[in-house]
Amino acid sequence: MVTVEGTNTARFEPVRAALAAHLETGEELGASIAVDVDGVMEVDIWGGHVDQGQAVPWSSDTLVSLWSTTKTLSSLAALVLVDRGALDLHRPVAEYWPEFAAQGKQDIEVRHVLAHTSGLSGWQQPFTMDDLYDWPTASARLAAQAPWWNPGTASGYHMQTQGQLVGELVRRVSGQTLTEFVDTEIAEPLDADVQIGAREADWQRIAALVSPSQISGVPAGLDPDAVLTRTMLGSPARDEHVDTSQWRRAELGAVNGHGNARGMARALSVISRRGEANGHRLLSADTVDRIFDVQADGVDLVLGVPVRWGIGYALADPRTMPGMPTGTICFWVGWGGSIVMMDLDRRITFAYTMNRLGAGILGSERTHSYIRHVYEALDATS
């Protein structure tokens, strides 16, 4: 009999039952789910195991590598600096990072980086994991290359480069690394168990990721000049790099954040609650509203599906995430299915993290199932 630990209010009992069912069938190995409703954590549940051998149970403080859900933290860091006046969304990146102006990039604005429209969706080849792990090298290489399409005209998901671009801006204007900034300006004040990379003291509580089919490279037959192909070739991180000491020590603001559902909900609820959460105001309501300024709306050149990009986050759109309600909602997902979703109309933050990766470009069937159960519960009690 599968046991789901943690607490939930009565109306969210179907969410608990859904997690139990997925654990029972083996679709989930280990997972956590959190739903914050206007500052009240109505769902804080977890279950399963941290290892494929199922010897170690998932606990209340288990962490997991978040893949691209990490971007929600990096974007929040940038927005905090925007709110403080240290970054201007409509100023050129090169004003903060002069070397970035090379190869015709002098007019690329901060908002383009946050909305995946800068044209820098991957590193120019050759580019290796050793290069990615070396911050100065990875930043210098992006600064020196030309964009792959006309910036601002379309989105092309910055799969692994966005963390470098945002992180370099954070370093330039704050004097802190992205890891340090997230620790001191987001995680600590909001009491959120999240981090970029992972402190060595926390390694023993990190769940191992299990992938049914590893990202092994670029599929055969793709146009070598296409943005998708160049992005995949220029995004070297693969499943086999996760759970290594190099991965955990690195600062990869697009892909190697660590956290759990509770921590992510506590951190990102600052958006759902229009800038203030857990007794701290990180953003003004005006800055939160800027997230919903549409920067691109069409088929993403990398993802191949329609995405409506705001500032730092995707915006709710049934073309992108079937079953997601409409409204003032922003979100992003990680490889395998993790998600953080901020619903400002209902002041709700939903987060899901897991260690068995599921199939799907944007969320797995499990992701979509949990979203459906959350909103069915809300509709039933509204």
Q: What is the pLDDT of residues 339-365, one digit of tens each?
A: 999 999 999 999 999 999 998 889 999
Long-range contacts of 198-204 (CB under 8 A, 24+ apart): 198/63, 198/65, 198/248, 198/256, 198/258, 200/248, 200/249, 202/63, 202/258, 203/248
Q: Give the neighbor-by-neighbor strand order of the sheet with 348-354.
A: 4-8, 40-48, 30-37, 348-354, 339-343, 329-333, 314-315, 306-309, 296-299
Answering whether pTM is above 0.95, one says yes
Q: Which of 320, 257, 286, 273 is CA-nearest to residue 70?
A: 257
pLDDT for res 84 = 98
Residue 67 has which token pair? 């893949």
pLDDT in tens, 192-201: 999 999 999 9
The pLDDT, as a whole number, for residue 61 is 98
Cα separation, 110 vs 229, whole angstroms: 25
pLDDT in tens, 297-322: 999 999 999 999 999 999 999 888 87
Question: Whole-angstrom Cα distance, residue 377 to residue 112?
Answer: 37
